Amino acid sequence: MLNAINARLSLPSGEMDYIRFGGGAKTLVMLPGVGDGLKTVRGMALPFALQFRELAKDFTVYVFSRRVSLPEHMTTREMAEDLNAAMEALGLREAAVVGVSQGGMIAQWLAIDHPDKVGKLVLVVTLSRPNETAREAIAGWTEMAKRGDYRGIMLDTAERSYSEKRLRQARLAYSLLGSLGRPKSFDRFLTQAESCVTHDCYDRLCEIACPTLVIGGCEDRIVTAAASEEIARAVPGSELYLYEGLSHGLYEEAPDFLARVAAFCR
């Protein structure tokens, strides 16, 4: 059932890592958040397949990283063009697209500019235009990245993302990860972080025509619940679900998250 593979695409714009798992007849595309700038999905096929095995029952799942080498000042819209090119190269005509955080920003542009590629859209803990909470969080990570403070990025992200119950378990793990997994370069992360604070497609959300589910956390300390509510009001006919007591990491904490996504995408 898991059928997990790691792969790399050669596109005209450059190389892109992706993974695939599951064997369902329907296609589901997942786009991770800004942490992709620190490490691509390369080598992560089996861990992802195990974590998201509930989706593997009904879908063939593709998880796409951003391009391996990103130019400075690349925008989320340009990243969506890369994603469209990757789907074209793999023959993916239409998919349910699930975008988390920055991945949700890219998914918005894909649905606007290439509506034929998106049959259903799930936007998780994301925003359509920057707000003060997001700017403050990303500015902090940017400064840490410029001085090579990987551990600081990991710990601050955890503090903003999880409930206190989860944090008691996560602090030590993220501290250790911050000591062991430092990337060779922070250039990709800096480009992706900048793209978050320049992302703005709010005035174009009315063009999204596919069925859309917006999922947010009432306690989101990175993009805010208000950002999810704003998207849901602007996308015609969209559904909104907010998790009480959860923040940006709700997709790891909410026990029914995958079932909710799978049911909508089916």
Alpha-carbon distance of 119 to 79, in angstroms, equals: 19
Listed residue (134, 248, 149) closest to 193, CA to CA: 134
Is the pLDDT at 175 greater than 70, yes or no? no
pLDDT computed for residue 198 by the predictor = 98
**pLDDT tens digits, one per residue of 3-17:** 999 999 999 999 999
| Rounded mean pLDDT, 152-176 | 84
Query: Across residues 71-84, what is the average pLDDT?
Result: 97
Mean pLDDT value of segment 236-247? 98
Q: Rounded mean pLDDT of 136-163? A: 94
- The CATH label, of 1.10.10.60, 3.40.50.10470, 3.40.50.1820, 3.10.110.10, for the domain at 5-131+195-265 is 3.40.50.1820
Closest CA to 102 of 195, 205, 33, 20: 33
Q: Check: CB of residue 28 under 8 Å from CB of residue 55.
A: yes
Neighbouring residues of 83: CB distance < 8 A, sequence distance ≥ 6: 29, 31, 64, 106, 110
Cβ-proximal residues to 18 (8 Å cutoff; 6+ apart), any chain: 7, 8, 9, 41, 62, 63, 64, 65, 86
Widest CA span in the chain? 46
* 255/158 Cα distance (integer angstroms): 18
Distance CA 120, CA 58 (A): 15
Q: Which residues, in sequence order, are CB contacts of 264 under 8 Å at separation 6+? A: 120, 122, 211, 213, 239
Report the pLDDT value the prediction gives residue 179, as an integer from 0 to 100.
62
Query: pLDDT band at residue 164, thresholds of 50, 70 and 90?
Result: confident
Q: How far apart are CA 137 and CA 52, in angstroms?
A: 28
Rounded to whole angstroms, the Cα distance separating 240 from 5 reads 33
Q: What percent of the chain has pLDDT over 90?
A: 88
Q: Which pTM does this prediction carry?
A: 0.95
Instruction: Give 216's DSSP letter.
Output: E
- Residue in 128, 138, 248 with CA at minimum distance from that of residue 191: 138
Residue 248 neighbours by CB under 8 Å, 6+ apart: 101, 125, 160, 161, 217, 220, 221, 222, 223
Pick from 119, 89, 93, 91: nearest CA to 107: 119
Q: Where is pLDDT greater, at 118 or 184?
A: 118
* Res 100: pLDDT: 98
